[in-house]
């Protein structure tokens, strides 16, 4: 638990695919090795960015096991084993811990939403299994996890903290009570870390600029990192110009970090959107980007599979 709480930069890592739509482990490993080289503390496997909702549970658990086996000594492995189905979340979480993940990322039931009492009971059942981050993302679940829910859960022995998308005021409130928080909003994460006391960020942006995100989370030379944060705001906001992970997928394809294969229903950003991103990515030093080159790409370059 102490090692997990010390992690200030955790990447919600992308899942790359082959032309036929299968998970590409060769590319996956290359991506993770670049995260390690940049000093990232941990990864979330099969999160929203990793398209866990498009993976079968067999694929999902295979990826967790693969990461534990190959990278468990260098990274904290967080398995996104949450579900809107309590029975399914329990089974996936038990399997995830059985194959060696360090922690789970748990979300409140979405779409088929339940009462706050039901949400609390859902989390208690999965927390009983092992260490877990609670993920509050009202934009996806349609339900805000307020302090009324989080504060009682924070007393559970397996509660790590909150991945909080509700803003820095909420993060500051929790941190003052000793409830650990990681920002779920990249563009707010620097201020959250250095002005509001967050433990760090669970990041999308670190897929493509892990070293720069590492600098933003570190506490040395805050004057310089404040300037860096300002310079990266445009890129961070562009990465959310469409629902995540559309833009980060497109960006990693533009830098040739991954093959240009989307699993439906995701589609690449439009040419106009890519033109905006191209300028933003071009402003970043090549050494700081994940990928070997940068190109605008044509619409015909993208492959769509299931």
Per-residue pLDDT of the chain (306 residues; tens, 9 = 90+): 999 999 999 999 999 999 999 999 999 999 999 999 999 999 999 999 999 999 999 999 999 999 999 999 999 999 999 999 999 999 999 999 999 999 999 999 999 999 999 999 999 999 999 999 999 999 999 999 999 999 999 999 999 999 999 999 999 999 999 999 999 999 999 999 999 999 999 999 999 999 999 999 998 888 899 999 999 999 999 999 999 999 999 999 999 999 999 999 999 999 999 999 999 999 999 999 999 999 999 999 999 999
The residues that bridge with 304 in the sheet, in sequence order, are 262
Annotated active-site residue 286? The verdict is no
Reported pTM: 0.97
Closest by CA to 84, choosing from 104, 48, 110, is: 110
Options 135, 174, 190, 260, the catalytic residue? 135
Evaluate the omega torsion of the peptide bond into residue 265 and state whether it is cis, within 30 degrees of 0.
yes
Give domain 2-221's CATH number out of 3.90.550.10, 2.30.40.10, 3.40.50.1370, 3.20.20.70. Answer: 3.20.20.70
CA–CA separation, 272 and 242 (whole Å): 13
Closest by CA to 10, choosing from 40, 35, 34, is: 40
Domains of the chain, residue spans = 2-221
Closest by CA to 124, choosing from 157, 78, 76, 169, is: 157
DSSP secondary-structure letter at 62? H
Annotated active-site residue 110? The verdict is no
Alpha carbon 1 to its chain's center: 19
Q: What stretch of H or E contains 12?
A: strand 9-12
Options 17, 163, 174, 260, the catalytic residue? 163
């Amino acid at each position: 638990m102490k090692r997990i709480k010390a992690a200030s930069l955790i990447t919600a890592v992308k899942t790359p695919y082959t032309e036929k739509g299968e998970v590409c482990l060769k590319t996956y490993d290359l991506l993770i090795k670049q995260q390690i080289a940049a000093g990232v503390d941990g990864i979330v496997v099969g999160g929203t960015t990793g398209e866990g909702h498009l993976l079968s549970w067999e694929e999902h658990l295979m990826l967790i096991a693969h990461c534990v086996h190959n990278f468990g000594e260098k990274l904290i492995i967080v398995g996104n084993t949450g579900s809107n189905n309590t029975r399914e979340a329990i089974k996936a979480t038990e399997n995830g811990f059985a194959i060696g993940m360090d922690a789970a990322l748990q979300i409140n039931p979405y779409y088929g939403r339940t009462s706050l009492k039901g949400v609390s009971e859902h989390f208690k059942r999965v927390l009983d299994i092992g260490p877990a981050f609670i993920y509050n993302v009202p934009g996806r679940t349609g339900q805000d996890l307020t302090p009324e829910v989080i504060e009682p859960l924070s007393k559970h022995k397996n509660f790590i903290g909150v991945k909080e998308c509700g803003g820095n005021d909420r993060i500051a409130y929790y941190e003052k009570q000793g409830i650990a928080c990681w920002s779920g909003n990249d563009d707010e994460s620097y201020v959250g870390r250095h002005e509001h006391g967050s433990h760090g960020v669970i990041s999308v942006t670190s897929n493509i600029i892990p070293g720069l995100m590492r600098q933003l989370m570190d506490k040395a030379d805050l004057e310089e990192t404040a300037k860096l944060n300002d310079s990266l705001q445009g890129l961070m906001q562009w990465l959310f110009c469409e629902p995540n992970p559309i833009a980060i997928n497109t960006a990693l394809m533009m830098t040739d970090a991954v093959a240009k294969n989307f699993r439906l229903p995701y589609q690449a950003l439009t040419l106009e959107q890519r033109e905006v991103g191209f300028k933003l990515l071009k402003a970043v030093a090549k050494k700081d980007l994940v990928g070997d080159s940068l190109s605008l790409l044509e619409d015909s370059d993208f492959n769509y599979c299931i």
